[in-house]
Structure 1
Amino acid sequence: MKILHIVTLHTPDHAFGGPTRVALNLSKVQRAQGDDARIMALGDGFVGELPREVEGVPAHLFQARHLLPMFEVSGITSGALLLAARRRMRGADLVHVHLMRDLVTLPAALLALALRRPLVVQTHGMVDPTEKRVAQLTDLLGVRKVLRGADAVLHLTEMERLDVNAVAAPVPLTRTVRLVNGVRPQKRKPARDPGQPPTVLFLARIQERKRPEDFVAAMPAVLAKYPDARFVLAGPDTGALPGTLELAARLGVLESLDHVGPLGHQEVLAAGRRADVYVLPSIEEPLGVSVLEAMSVGTPVVITRTCGLGPDVAEAGAGRVIDSRVGEDEANAQKVAQAILELLEPKANAEAGDAAWQLVNEHFTIKAVAQTLRRTYEDVVRRKAAPR
């Protein structure tokens, strides 16, 4: 099967995060199974020519044009990409659009509808009801039409299914399919050595929504018990790094904080292996790939109840799931610190690490996700080919 994944953006530091990572992971498995899967996206931040493949996946990248800089990622586009998309879509058996309210994936999805190509859209928690006027206008001009016209709409959680239905209202969506994120199984790392200084990891885009300040604010309480502990702040900065480092300086913990910047995929897994606890205190996180990658090597996690993985982590005992609220910074930091301290205890760390590793291998492998997606693709193509 010839599959064209369309995602908004690919950069050298993987600043766009989840949707591009999901598209790449799916494409790699699909290609290994004999499909011709490839990605189409904007490229930005590269020196010289844009790459023609990413991690072994053929990539059709076009230089990003910052048409509306005030809207950041949502305001970039490329006329050349949209022209090429028409040709690529005609040669594809199925178009898989990783949809958001932007000037790349939305017009591409509308084009697929106009060409009557089999269309699967995946929203990654990025399309939900909103009070923002520009987003409401975007919904009116195109998002609703795409959701209603797609041959399948993929959602990560039940909350996301309700959200996309609310955006598509009053027309109910009848072709929704739950598709979780998945990662490749990894070898379980050795149990934590209680004689070594612990390492605590934050690995995600450094932006306000991910709450890196809560991670830093938890450091004094942990350092009071483990003065040699290292805290690693990894990921591309998308606006919150200066404030996060300033907070660390004010709290006097800057010397215990290692800011390592963005990491490649193999570096991400290596960082997870070195860490004793992974922390992502994000207020809203549909189903974080970085959380899954940490658990895939046997690292227990600290996440919030508004993370889509919260129920799974809590039920499996794969870490700690905490309450976190905007505007309650001190209370949030205390909860993060307490969760970290609990998971640094050797017995708790070993039990949660085992549970995390088993959770990923039983429910969140990329192979299982790809099998579910394959059934969805085949159903879509069959329905599309049926006489009307």
Structure 2
Amino acid sequence: YAPAYAFGGVARAVEGMAKAVLARGHNVTVLTTDALSQSARYQNHDDEILEGIHVIRLPNRSVQLRGKANLSTPRGLKDAARQWLDWADITHLHEFRTIENLTVAPMAAASRRPLVLSPHGTLTQSTGRSLLKQNWDRLFSRRIARAMSAVICLTEAEKADAAALWKQLGVPEPGQYTIPNGVDAAAFDVLEGDLEFRQRFELGDSIVCLFLGRLHPRKGVLELAQAFKWANIRDAKLVFAGADDGALASLRPLLNDRILYIGYLEGADRLAALAAADVFALPATGEGLPMAALEAMASGLPLLISPGCNLPEAEEAGAALIAEPQVDQIARALSQLLTDSTLRHDMGRKARALAEERFNWDRIAAQLEGVYRRYL
């Protein structure tokens, strides 16, 4: 949970969801771990109120396991879960194959408490660590799946994945709903720091294509860099910003004065990167519904995304070009966007409008509340 943004979009999505539900008059408690990044713990408090939300952080036995294997090992989880399951009217779990879910889901089922799951794109076995996921499913997933009252999917594609997985596991399907991630567009109304950002990273007056997110192979990092090199657009630069998650080693040979890796950004630096950018690119092979893309839309940036980003609405609204995550197709889309300022401006305006209308948290919180009430 916030501020553990180095782990990617799920932390931002859960934070937005919690704030939006709180704003509708509900009490929200978040039970999470003390992981802050792939190598650091959150040091401030293990029990605090953050912007009205009660956040309880359990210490991980191993930061390394959380960072390298995406495996939490929280101490005291059963005791904390028992206490807060008794307090809560409904429990909302996030992601699917986790130690937390394996512990909490059977406890919730035993206490006959309603349990809702948001998988955040983690259901399929094809998005990395497939052998590990298959073994996990054989050993553990039925215990998690049969406890669910409802599954809230980000997209219709994820809804189909949920139906297929529950069928494969041989347990009754829970209620299934489709509710996207949201974004607080107002937070991107006034973006500052673009000039300082351009100066700091020697971007000058270049047209800037921004990749903002974890550097994971399935996010199309290498393909994007190769496509940018192939497109060879004068006066354009490609900036990768994010924590390394396995793709940096393959990217390094392509780095130069026009293809830059600037590390992980947060807070004002992240907003400054969005302010300085002209195009946002994420040619991922598999995503849930990427928060970085929604933030880019709220910032008024045109998108270059792949079908795996699950944002067909952006293409339909004229806010995005969708390219298969292949070098030649990405290169063609880059050439189109980076050489046409009128197109970029028009797409950026439509992107901002779509973020405000389709992906605002107020609308999404009302939908979440509707699902919760069905099971109370």
TM-score normalised by length of structure 2: 0.85
Match of 1:303 in 2: 305
Alignment of 1:173 onto 2:173: yes
**Contact persistence 1:283–1:304 (CA under 8 A):** yes
Alignment of 1:343 onto 2:337: yes
Give, in whole Å, the separation in 2 of the partners of 1:276 and 1:299.
6
How many angstroms does 1:47 deviate by? Answer: 6.2
Alignment of 1:114 onto 2:110: yes
Instruction: State the SS of the aligned residue for 2:262.
Output: strand
Alignment of 1:233 onto 2:240: yes
Instruction: State the SS of the aligned residue for 1:255.
Output: coil
Instruction: State the SS of the aligned residue for 2:308.
Output: coil
CA root-mean-square deviation: 2.8
1:267-346 paired onto structure 2 within 5 Å: 267-309=269-311, 311-324=312-325, 332-344=326-338, 345-346=340-341
* CA spacing shift, 1:256–1:51, aligned 2, 3 Å: farther
Instruction: Read off the aligned partner of 1:226 and give its amino acid letter.
Output: R
Give, in whole Å, the separation in 2 of the partners of 1:90 and 1:363.
35
Match of 1:380 in 2: 375
Alignment of 1:143 onto 2:144: no
Give, in whole Å, the separation in 1 of the partners of 2:324 and 2:34.
37
Percent of counterpart pairs with the same letter?
A: 30
How many angstroms does 1:54 deviate by? Answer: 8.0
Instruction: Read off the aligned partner of 2:371 and give its amino acid letter.
Output: T
**Contact persistence 1:98–1:122 (CA under 8 A):** yes
Give, in whole Å, the separation in 2 of the partners of 1:71 and 1:133.
19
Alignment of 1:25 onto 2:16: yes
How many angstroms does 1:143 deviate by? Answer: 2.3
How many angstroms does 1:141 deviate by? Answer: 4.0
Give the paired residue count: 355
TM-score normalised by length of structure 1: 0.83
Alignment of 1:78 onto 2:74: yes
Instruction: Read off the aligned partner of 1:136 and give its amino acid letter.
Output: Q
Q: What do residues 34-64 of structure 1 show as CA deviations (whole Å, max 9, x unaligned)? A: 2211211112213644454585233211222
Q: What do residues 202-258 of structure 1 show as CA deviations (whole Å, max 9, x unaligned)? A: 001011111211222233345x4323x33221111112112212232xxxxx12234
**Contact persistence 1:13–1:263 (CA under 8 A):** no
How many angstroms does 1:348 deviate by? Answer: 0.6
**Contact persistence 2:4–2:11 (CA under 8 A):** no
Match of 2:200 in 1: none
**Contact persistence 1:215–1:281 (CA under 8 A):** yes
**Contact persistence 2:66–2:73 (CA under 8 A):** no
Instruction: Read off the aligned partner of 1:350 and give its amino acid letter.
Output: H
More divergent stretch after superposition (293-302 vs 65-74): 65-74
* CA spacing shift, 1:343–1:105, aligned 2, 3 Å: same
More divergent stretch after superposition (297-306 vs 157-166): 157-166
More divergent stretch after superposition (71-80 vs 287-296): 71-80
Q: 1:207 aligns with which of 213, 216, 219?
A: 216
* CA spacing shift, 1:340–1:69, aligned 2, 3 Å: same
* CA spacing shift, 1:336–1:52, aligned 2, 3 Å: farther
Give, in whole Å, the separation in 1 of the partners of 2:206 and 2:49.
36
